[in-house]
Amino acid sequence: MLGKRLREIIGKITKKPYIDEGDVKVMIKEIQKALIAADVDVRLVLDLSKRIEKRALGEQMRALTLKQHVFQIVYEELVKLMGEGYSPRLERHKVLLCGLYGSGKTTTAGKLAHFFKKNGLKPALVAADFDRPAAIEQLRQLATQINCAFYSAASLEEVLEKVKEAREDVVIIDSAGRNALDERLLEELRSIYSKVAPEEVFLVVSGDMGQSAGKQARAISEVVPISAVIVTKMDSSAKGGAALSAVSAANAKIAFIGMGEKIEDLRLYDPKKFVGRLLGIPDIEGLLAKAKEAGLEEVAEEELTAETLLKQLKAAKKMGPLKNILSMMGAVDLPKELVVQGEEKLKGIEAIIQSMTKEERRDVSLLKRQPSRIRRIAKGSGRSEKEVREFIAQFEKMEKLMKRFKKDRGMKRKLEEMFKRWQG
Ligand code: GDP
Ligand code: MG
């Protein structure tokens, strides 16, 4: 599934202590592959990868926050790919549903009735399938289950009568489907539309259709002005993301998504929530905001010492449990023990730094080859000497990476200056 692939790709980046241009490029290639494998239109994928590359590498790179920065960009671009959100019409109105057989139209009619009822409006379901008694019966049963009004009609004229008679707030018409978008279906839609004058026309498509959902939205909208698309079977289709992106590329809005067979399995469409779930982090926005609030970014700008590391740890703690931070960084499918271990490790590092003198915090190398200092810190922090030595080794690794990164940045700046001089 697309979500799993994306989570793995971002997880890979997260595991690295430090990422560079090459890592970003590899990540983009992998995102491309994942989206194309999920049937997203190649042109959309190429546009998206160009934008991610331009933003991730164009905006200034910072060692400690680059991962978060790249993550935020990937998230934002995926959200853009998946279209806009939708506000439901919570007032008296008529809804016409159209779509092919098996797209989930009748089920969705029931789900919508349930949705409006929950929102304090009285719904009515109207069966406008004149050929298939079974389809009428299916809608009648849904109406009984939801406990809402139900009308069936044997002809278009009768549908009109029923719709006029109906005293309910939201009248939902389940039009007849077809196996294909043939002339007869389009003609029928055209005449229902012009006679009933519904305020909302929803096209129902199945997520299984993948990118061809976009073509269908375009074709139908030439016959009747659709107000939005409802994409069903998002719970079970591997091509759901492709359907959503294609529909929004066809300039159609997505109103709801179907997430199962039951009447309550309908969700108002929110691309941010959709991408959040795809990446395994329901509240990405909240977490990114928290990171800013906690001052993680500013701290990360300072030079790396044990002192600034301590500040970072404290800032990170403000963001909530480690599990959230790790999942924000994309490391989602982590086993619980690892998270608990990680939490314990961070506490250890904090205790160790707190037992260091000011001098040592500024210059961790003072601890090397000084067993007496290590012993003192171990005692003070209640950690073993081995742990203190591990901390020193880890810290040195981080320092090296930071230095390498700074050098790269210095090189980049020098090159840029050279270019400018040549051009000037
Ligand atoms: P219609 O021919 O367009 O009216 O389609 P139906 O409403 O009869 O649905 C066709 C099949 O798709 C039925 O078996 C439904 O239970 C199933 N279905 C509809 N919506 C969803 C959904 O969101 N998720 C899943 N998993 N199945 C759905
Ligand atoms: Mg039906």
pLDDT exceeds 50 at position 124: yes
| Per-residue pLDDT band at 349 (split at 50, 70, 90) | confident
pLDDT exceeds 90 at position 327: no
d(CA 27, CA 73): 12
- Domain range list for the chain: 2-81, 93-278, 284-423
The answer to whether 84 and 253 have CB atoms below 8 angstroms apart is: yes
The answer to whether 237 and 208 have CB atoms below 8 angstroms apart is: yes
The answer to whether 265 and 111 have CB atoms below 8 angstroms apart is: yes
pLDDT exceeds 50 at position 306: yes
Q: Is the CB of 237 under 6 A from ligand 1?
A: no
Q: Which of 128, 56, 143 lies closest to 97, judged by CA?
A: 128
- The pLDDT of residue 132 is 81
- The pLDDT of residue 333 is 44
d(CA 269, CA 390): 48
In this prediction the pTM is 0.73
Lowest mean pLDDT among 110-114, 137-141, 335-339: 335-339
pLDDT digits (tens, 9 = 90+) for 394-405: 788 777 766 665
The whole-number average pLDDT for the span 131-137 is 86
pLDDT over 70 percentage in the chain: 79
Q: Ligand nearest 232 Cα, by number? A: 1
- The pLDDT of residue 335 is 46
pLDDT over 90 percentage in the chain: 49
Q: Is the CB of 49 under 6 A from ligand 1?
A: no
pLDDT exceeds 90 at position 7: no
**What CATH architecture applies to the domain 284-423?**
Orthogonal Bundle (1.10)
* For ligand 1, atom 6: residue with the closest CA: 104
- The pLDDT of residue 253 is 93
The whole-number average pLDDT for the span 144-154 is 94
Which atom of ligand 1 is least distant from the CA of 138?
8
- The pLDDT of residue 259 is 95
Q: Ligand nearest 234 Cα, by number? A: 1
SS3 (DSSP) at 96? strand
For domain 93-278, the CATH class is alpha beta
- The pLDDT of residue 408 is 54
Q: What is the DSSP string of 70-92?
A: HHHHHHHHHHHHT--------SS
SS3 (DSSP) at 357? coil
pLDDT digits (tens, 9 = 90+) for 170-211: 999 998 877 777 788 888 889 899 999 999 999 999 999 999
- The pLDDT of residue 60 is 55
Q: Ligand nearest 206 Cα, by number? A: 1
- The pLDDT of residue 415 is 45
pLDDT exceeds 90 at position 31: yes
The answer to whether 86 and 273 have CB atoms below 8 angstroms apart is: no
Q: Is the CB of 110 under 6 A from ligand 1?
A: no
Strands (E), 224-321: 228-232, 254-258, 266-268
| Ligand 1, pocket-test mutation among 101, 107, 172, most atoms within 8 A of CB | 107
CA of 414 to the centre of ligand 1 (A): 61
CA of 104 to the centre of ligand 2 (A): 7
Q: Ligand nearest 262 Cα, by number? A: 1
Instruction: Report which of residues 80 and 333 the model is more confident about.
Output: 80
pLDDT exceeds 60 at position 18: yes
- The pLDDT of residue 422 is 42
Q: What is the 3-state secondary structure (H, E, C) of 17-44?
A: CCCCHHHHHHHHHHHHHHHHHCCCCHHH
pLDDT digits (tens, 9 = 90+) for 292-301: 666 555 555 5
- The pLDDT of residue 8 is 86
* For ligand 1, atom 12: residue with the closest CA: 104
CA of 172 to the centre of ligand 1 (A): 17
pLDDT exceeds 60 at position 321: no
Q: Distances from the Cα of 321 to the Cαs of 177, 296, 309, 325, 343, in angstroms?
A: 50, 15, 18, 7, 8
Q: Does domain 2-81 have CATH number 1.20.120.140?
A: yes
Determine how β-strand 200-206 pairs with β-strand 93-98: parallel
- The pLDDT of residue 212 is 94
Q: How many CA atoms lie within 13 A of 310 on its CB side?
A: 17
CB-proximal residues (5 Å) to ion ligand 2: 105-106, 135
- The pLDDT of residue 277 is 82
CA of 122 to the centre of ligand 2 (A): 22
| Per-residue pLDDT band at 138 (split at 50, 70, 90) | very high
Lowest mean pLDDT among 2-11, 58-67, 171-180, 230-239: 58-67
| Per-residue pLDDT band at 329 (split at 50, 70, 90) | very low
Query: Which of the given ranges, 113-127, 167-181, 380-394, has the highest pLDDT on average?
Result: 113-127
Run of H or E residues at 145: helix 133-146
- The pLDDT of residue 395 is 82
pLDDT exceeds 50 at position 419: no
Q: Is the CB of 260 under 6 A from ligand 1?
A: yes
- The pLDDT of residue 66 is 66
- The pLDDT of residue 367 is 92
The whole-number average pLDDT for the span 85-103 is 94
